[in-house]
Structure 1
Amino acid sequence: MRLTQLLSTWNQPKKVKWNDVKFSVLASGSTGNACYVETGKKRLLVDVGLSGKKIEALFKKINRDPKQLDGILVTHEHSDHIKGLGILSRRFNLPIYANAKTWFAMENQIGKIPTDLKFHFESETIQTFEDLEVESFRVSHDAVSPQFYVFHSQGKKLTLATDMGYVSDRIKGTIRDSDMLIFESNHDIDMLMMGKYPWNTKRRILGDQGHVSNEDAGEALAEIIGDQTRRVYLAHLSKDNNMKDLARMSVQQTLENRGFQIGEKLSLYDTDAEVPTDLITV
């Protein structure tokens, strides 16, 4: 190949496969949660824990349009996950997928949804959205029937797992060796215990139906991360009982103590309650 041809090849942008899986954590934290996943044929949103106006602004930041969504998956009925659900669904005529118990628990909070936009997605099942398979799994949290999701497409595996009191062996088996993980690192135990929350709230957060701490996140991830895992996004950080640097340092230290090397093949990333992560290809 001549030099001019070689340089021309180098200067051409890489082609993005039509069926690549991409995602962005639009918002994550105790004040609101939403995660966007797309393939070549489908675009899904998981949870709408912010106002419709804020969600639309977050979509603009990743150069996407909520009008093009094919549906919304719901994890559970807490307000930081469904605050803008009804508004967004009605505004853009978007189907909503949730299990039967969650539908019953949230209907009074989200307003009237047309029957043709209401779909059931039960725990421990798989639904196919053309080129994307979505697997639901139960978690232990103080909601009526909380579930999270694993996304499978083209041999890639993306997991969203937050709002867990603890990480069971069943969950570890389901999400092990994901290419990328969005994983709860909710609180620092010392910050929580010394903080302003009343004891009943502290006990709830620390309990089996509460949230995973930084320390527990690191220990669980050490059993979940596999050879193909490249990125872990630390998610659902408490506004009052955690900090990004603290969460990342704590999880990294635990993983390094277990023999993992951070910064080479495996990287840790922050999420934010108001700033979306970059739209990344899995």
Structure 2
Amino acid sequence: MNRMKMSVLASGSTGNSTYLETEQGSLLIDVGLSCKRTEEALNSLGTSLKNVDAILITHEHSDHIKGLKVISKKYGIPVYANEKTWQRIESKDIQVASDRKFHFNPLEEKELLGMDVQSFNVSHDAIDPQFYTFMQNDKKLSIITDTGYVSDQMKGIIKDSDCFVFESNHDVDMLRMCRYPWMTKQRILSDVGHVSNEDAAHAMHDVITDRTKRIYLSHLSLDNNMKELAKMSVEQILNHYDIDTDNDITISNTDKAIPTKIYQI
């Protein structure tokens, strides 16, 4: 049976990219690493940018499109983003050849590489941010990061996934005590900022079902979170809801520079 395979190549404020593979080909969700670092990450998994068939962009922030200009020019990979995001990308002097530029607008569904892919909006301070769910052979992967909160609509779309890449950005107490300017703290804590460990865990509780087997904690703040703290905070809340994180669901960390091992969904 055709099974999706994935790896979070990198996740955090310095760059975000996720690799997804099927028997029909492979794609990247965001290219927030440089072309060189993206190639190195893929090489460590035994593949290459030459084998990537598509790139899906979530929004125009630099930690999600840093490598787009060079990768697009060098490899000519088809790139998908929504109309408003394309406008912002091009305003940053990032040009993609017209025959390699495709629109994937919010709440739209497309078939890519044998997968049914749906886009959905999130609440973040970009022009029109969106993330994606991927379904194939009754298996479902949902990626949701860079959101200030998880709405009922988002939950309805991502619920019942076998695997999640889920934002767990910051510990609220660490953020409040850090040296960030107050305006920056307000932005992160706002509805268009980033989800905290605790809020992420409560949202996870609403979308986890018996089929859910793995959750990757992503976009951890370098200054206001720690892998061990994020994992402990999420597990404690899920355990409170009688979700067994020792036997039923694996909570996995991601890294700003080291790809996660290939996981077959």
Does structure 1 retain, via aligned residues, the 8 Å contact 2:16–2:33? yes
What is the DSSP-based 3-state SS (H/G/I as helix, E as strand, rest coil) of the residue aligned with 2:92? Answer: helix
How many Å separate the matches in 2 of 1:31 and 1:133? 30
Does structure 2 retain, via aligned residues, the 8 Å contact 1:178–1:228? yes
Question: What is the number of residues matched between the two proteins?
Answer: 265
Q: Which residue of 1 aligns with 2:149?
A: 166
Q: Which of 182, 206, 221 matches 2:204?
A: 221
Q: Which residue of 2 aligns with 1:28?
A: 11
Runs of 4+ that moved beyond 6 A: none
Q: Give structure 1 stretches of 5+ with no counterpart.
A: 1-16
Does structure 1 retain, via aligned residues, the 8 Å contact 2:26–2:113? no
Q: Which residue of 1 aligns with 2:123?
A: 140
Per-residue deviation, residues 19-58 of structure 1 (Å, max 9, x unmatched):
2100000000111000011111021101011111110010
Q: Which residue of 2 aligns with 1:276?
A: 259
Q: Which amino acid aligns with 1:280?
A: Y
What is the DSSP-based 3-state SS (H/G/I as helix, E as strand, rest coil) of the residue aligned with 1:49? Answer: coil
Spell out the pairing of 1:74-93 with structure 2 (5 A cutoff): 74-93=57-76
1:262 equivalenced with 2:245 (yes/no): yes
What is the DSSP-based 3-state SS (H/G/I as helix, E as strand, rest coil) of the residue aligned with 1:45? Answer: strand
How many Å separate the matches in 2 of 1:138 and 1:256? 29
Per-residue deviation, residues 152-190 of structure 1 (Å, max 9, x unmatched):
111100011000100000111110110000000000000
What is the DSSP-based 3-state SS (H/G/I as helix, E as strand, rest coil) of the residue aligned with 1:137? Answer: strand
Task: Note the C-alpha offset of 1:129.
Answer: 1.4
Does structure 2 retain, via aligned residues, the 8 Å contact 1:230–1:265? yes
Q: Which residue of 2 aligns with 1:189?
A: 172
What is the DSSP-based 3-state SS (H/G/I as helix, E as strand, rest coil) of the residue aligned with 1:218? Answer: helix
How many Å separate the matches in 1 of 2:62 and 2:241? 36
Task: Note the C-alpha offset of 1:99.
Answer: 0.2
Per-residue deviation, residues 205-260 of structure 1 (Å, max 9, x unmatched):
00000000001011110111001000000000001110000000000000011111
Alignment RMSD, CA only? 0.8
Task: Note the C-alpha offset of 1:110.
Answer: 5.1
1:52 equivalenced with 2:52 (yes/no): no
Does structure 2 retain, via aligned residues, the 8 Å contact 1:142–1:209? yes
Does structure 2 retain, via aligned residues, the 8 Å contact 1:183–1:234? yes
How many Å separate the matches in 2 of 1:280 and 1:89? 27
Task: Note the C-alpha offset of 1:265.
Answer: 1.7
Task: Note the C-alpha offset of 1:130.
Answer: 4.0
Q: Give structure 2 stretches of 5+ with no counterpart.
A: none
Q: Which residue of 2 aligns with 1:209?
A: 192
Q: Which residue of 1 aligns with 2:48?
A: 65
Task: Note the C-alpha offset of 1:109.
Answer: 2.4
Q: Which amino acid aligns with 1:121?
A: F
Does structure 1 retain, via aligned residues, the 8 Å contact 2:22–2:113? no
Structure 2-normalised TM-score?
Answer: 0.98
What is the DSSP-based 3-state SS (H/G/I as helix, E as strand, rest coil) of the residue aligned with 1:94? Answer: coil
How many Å separate the matches in 1 of 2:173 and 2:161? 30
What is the DSSP-based 3-state SS (H/G/I as helix, E as strand, rest coil) of the residue aligned with 1:256? Answer: helix
